[in-house]
């Protein structure tokens, strides 16, 4: 079924507020999740609400965090999220990074002790909306086999980048360092759809098309994705003095425990390197150039990174966001959660 973004956001906020999140924090989380669904990133949208609601209700998210921000240098800082909801900590930390980059040309802000923060392109786009370049990386719990390995070590460890063009255009790149994010498996489960055999493996390390048999994800492009996952883990875990690799806390093992995750925002002010107007025009020129590349057989057009999500956002803005009926029924029900995730393994089984 389809509903408007505003209605979806209101339903999400109401559910999270009922679970125990305050009005302001529920508003921020709802905005991030509705953003994801509005761009077709359903793996990080409303499908996550019940999990968050259960963790909030069971005490695994600090609903009254004491956020602390400490500058450690002219362009560096640490934001302590006190294990509050990750979306709020990440957003506030990016606000601080934007302020530093506006003044000093660049900013690197680490976020310590936070919960899951959803689609991290949201935060990179925060910077780009201020005519800055935004880059954000974050760690996640181990569910990915390293290249050549038979058991998980790293998480999906996503990377998001965004640069501003003219007239509000944003060039956005958001990827997991796996062939697909775990949320895509969740989305396939919610729709009872098979997955490509290149996404994940079963308990025997063999490719599987059944989303319910997934026991580990595969790194994108083999050793290259493996290396990128390592890089993200160092920047958002080791660098911040947090648990890393297979020591990163599980999303589902105990929903009453804090997760202590890390995220790193890097923001660059183009004005310290070149003419801002020229930079933004050339970002737009890049987008147009890519669109005019001769398409390969089987393709209608070359899209710039993130353009598919831009197109979906425009379409959903006109016709409503497509939401699985089961998720809509949960959001409109009186149920806070159905005890569906606690004490599961990394794959919610």
19 Cβ neighbours under 8 A, 6+ residues apart: 52, 53, 54, 56, 57, 336, 337
Indicate if 116 belongs to the active site.
yes
Catalytic pick among 116, 213, 265, 343: 116
Beta strands per DSSP E along the chain? 2-3, 68-71, 76-80, 106-114, 133-138, 159-164, 170-175, 200-201, 216-217, 261-268, 321-322
Query: Exposure of 349 by Cβ count < 10 A (0-12 exposed, 13-18 middle, 19+ buried)?
Result: exposed
CB atoms within 10 A of CB 102: 15
For 210, list phi and psi in degrees, rounded to 5. -95, 115
SS (HEC) of 196-258: CCCCEECCCCCECCCHHHCCEECECCCHHHHHHHHHHHHHHCHHHCCCCHHHCCCCCCCCCCC
Point out the residues that are catalytic.
116
């Amino acid at each position: 079924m389809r509903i408007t973004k505003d209605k979806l956001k209101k339903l999400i906020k109401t559910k999270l507020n009922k679970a125990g999140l305050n009005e302001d924090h529920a508003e921020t989380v709802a905005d991030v999740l509705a953003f994801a669904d509005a761009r077709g990133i359903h793996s990080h949208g409303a499908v996550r609400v019940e999990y968050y609601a259960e963790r909030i209700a069971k005490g695994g998210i600090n609903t009254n965090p004491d956020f602390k921000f400490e500058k450690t240098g002219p362009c560096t800082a640490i934001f302590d999220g006190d294990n509050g909801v990750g979306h709020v900590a990440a957003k506030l930390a990016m606000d601080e990074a934007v302020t530093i980059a506006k003044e000093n040309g660049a900013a690197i802000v680490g976020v310590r002790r936070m919960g899951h923060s959803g689609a991290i392109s949201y935060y990179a786009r925060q910077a780009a909306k201020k005519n800055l370049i935004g880059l954000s990386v974050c760690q996640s719990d181990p569910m990915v086999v390293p290249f050549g390995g038979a058991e998980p070590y790293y998480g999906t460890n996503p990377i998001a980048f965004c640069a501003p063009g003219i007239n509000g255009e944003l060039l956005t790149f958001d990827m997991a360092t796996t062939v697909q994010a775990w949320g895509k498996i969740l989305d396939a489960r919610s729709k009872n759809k098979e997955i490509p055999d290149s996404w994940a493996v079963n308990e025997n390390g063999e490719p599987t098309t059944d989303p319910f048999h997934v026991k580990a994800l595969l790194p994108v492009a083999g050793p290259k994705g493996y290396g990128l996952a390592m890089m993200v883990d160092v920047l958002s875990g080791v660098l911040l003095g947090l648990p890393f690799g297979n020591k990163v806390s599980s999303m589902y093992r105990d929903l009453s425990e804090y997760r202590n995750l890390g995220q790193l925002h890097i923001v660059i002010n183009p004005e310290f390197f070149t003419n801002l107007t020229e930079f933004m025009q050339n970002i737009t020129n890049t987008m147009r150039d890519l669109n005019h590349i001769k398409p390969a057989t089987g393709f209608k057009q070359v899209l710039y990174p993130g353009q598919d999500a831009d197109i979906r956002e425009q379409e959903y803005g006109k016709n409503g966001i497509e939401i699985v009926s089961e998720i809509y029924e949960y959001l409109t029900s009186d149920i806070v959660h159905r005890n569906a995730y606690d004490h599961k393994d990394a794959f919610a089984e």
